[in-house]
Amino acid sequence: MKQELDFIPFTFLSDAERAELRADFVEMRFADRAVIFAQGDLDDRVFLLIEGQVEQWVHFETHSKKIEVIEPGHHFGERAVLLGDRKRAFEARALGSVRCYALSGEAFLALLGRSPVFARAMGQILREKQNIFMAFDRFMAEVLHGVAQGRMDFSALVTRYRALQPALHPHVDDHATIDFDALAYAVRRLPAHVTRTLVWFLADELPLLYSTPQATFEAVGTPSRRRAIYEMMPGKSIVLLRDGISDLVDLLSCLCLMAVEARKIRKRIEDPAILSRLTAFLADPQAQEGAGQAEGGRKPELSLLKSLPFNADEIEGLRRLWPGQVSARLRDMALHHEDFNIDVWKRIGRHNSSQADVWTTQIAEATEELIGHRPNALPKDRRVHIISSNTHSVTNCLSTWLVQQTEAIIAWGEKIDHPLLKGSWGVRQDLAVALSRDYRTSTPSEEARRAAIDEHEGVLELSQTAFTGIRVQLFDTTGLCLRPIDPALTPPPMQSRALLVNIDYAFGQQAEEIIANLIKLFGRNLDSVNVLGKAGGLTGRRGDILMPTAFVRQTDDRFQPLNQAIDLDRLRALSHDRAIHQGPVLTVAGTLLQNRVMLNFYRHLWRCVGLEMEGSYYHRPLEEARELGFVRRDLLMRYLYYTSDLPLMADANLSGSMLAIEGIPPLYAVTREILNGIFDQERARITSPVD
Model confidence pLDDT, tens digit, residues 438-448? 999 898 888 88
Are residues 164 and 68 part of one domain? no
Are residues 174 and 57 part of one domain? no
Question: Is residue 437, in this structure, part of any structural domain at all?
Answer: no
Question: Is residue 318, in this structure, part of any structural domain at all?
Answer: no
pLDDT at site 214: 82
> pLDDT tens digits, residue range 340-363?
999 998 765 444 457 788 889 999
Residue 232: HSE in the Cβ half-sphere, 13 Å Cα cutoff: 17
What residue ranges of the chain have pLDDT lower than 70?
1-3, 85, 286-299, 347-353, 650-657, 688-691
Are residues 361 and 224 part of one domain? no
Q: At 582, which helix (H) or strand (E)?
A: strand 580-587
Are residues 170 and 95 part of one domain? no
pLDDT at site 468: 81
Task: List Cα–Cα distances, 630 to 242, 358, 623, 633, 690, in angstroms.
Answer: 26, 21, 10, 9, 15
pLDDT at site 294: 46
Are residues 110 and 153 part of one domain? no
Are residues 676 and 619 part of one domain? yes
Question: Is residue 361, in this structure, part of any structural domain at all?
Answer: yes
* φ/ψ of residue 525, rounded to 5: -80, -10
Are residues 74 and 26 part of one domain? yes
pLDDT at site 21: 86
What distance in Å separates the CA atoms of residue 610 and residue 34, rounded to the nearest whole number?
41
Question: Is residue 310, in this structure, part of any structural domain at all?
Answer: no
- Contact criterion met (CB below 8 Å) for 230 and 191: no
Which of 94, 53, 109, 268 has its CA nearest to residue 178?
Answer: 268
What distance in Å separates the CA atoms of residue 590 and residue 167, rounded to the nearest whole number?
12
- Contact criterion met (CB below 8 Å) for 90 and 130: no
What distance in Å separates the CA atoms of residue 284 and residue 190, rounded to the nearest whole number?
28
Final residue before a domain boundary, out of 130, 155, 177: 130
What DSSP line would sit under 418-484, residue for residue?
A: -GGGGS--SSHHHHHHHHHHHHHHH-HHHHHHHHHHHHHTTEEE-S--TTS---EEEEE-TTGGGS-
pLDDT at site 656: 59
Are residues 157 and 126 part of one domain? no
Question: Is residue 204, in this structure, part of any structural domain at all?
Answer: yes
- Contact criterion met (CB below 8 Å) for 249 and 507: no
Question: Is residue 376, in this structure, part of any structural domain at all?
Answer: no
What distance in Å separates the CA atoms of residue 181 and residue 612, rounded to the nearest whole number?
20
What distance in Å separates the CA atoms of residue 602 and residue 459, rounded to the nearest whole number?
41
Are residues 44 and 188 part of one domain? no
Question: Is residue 445, in this structure, part of any structural domain at all?
Answer: no
The DSSP symbol for 491 reads P
CATH number of the domain that residue 663 is part of: 3.40.50.1580
Whole-angstrom distance between the N-terminal and C-terminal Cα of the chain? 61
- Contact criterion met (CB below 8 Å) for 54 and 36: yes
The domain total for the chain is: 3
Are residues 148 and 24 part of one domain? no
| Structural domain boundaries, residue 27 | 10-130
Are residues 678 and 591 part of one domain? yes
CATH number of the domain that residue 113 is part of: 2.60.120.10
Question: Is residue 637, in this structure, part of any structural domain at all?
Answer: yes
pLDDT at site 362: 92
Are residues 115 and 206 part of one domain? no
pLDDT at site 490: 93
Does a cis peptide bond (omega within 30 degrees of 0) precede residue 9?
yes
The DSSP symbol for 166 reads B
Final residue before a domain boundary, out of 99, 130, 161: 130
Final residue before a domain boundary, out of 69, 96, 130: 130
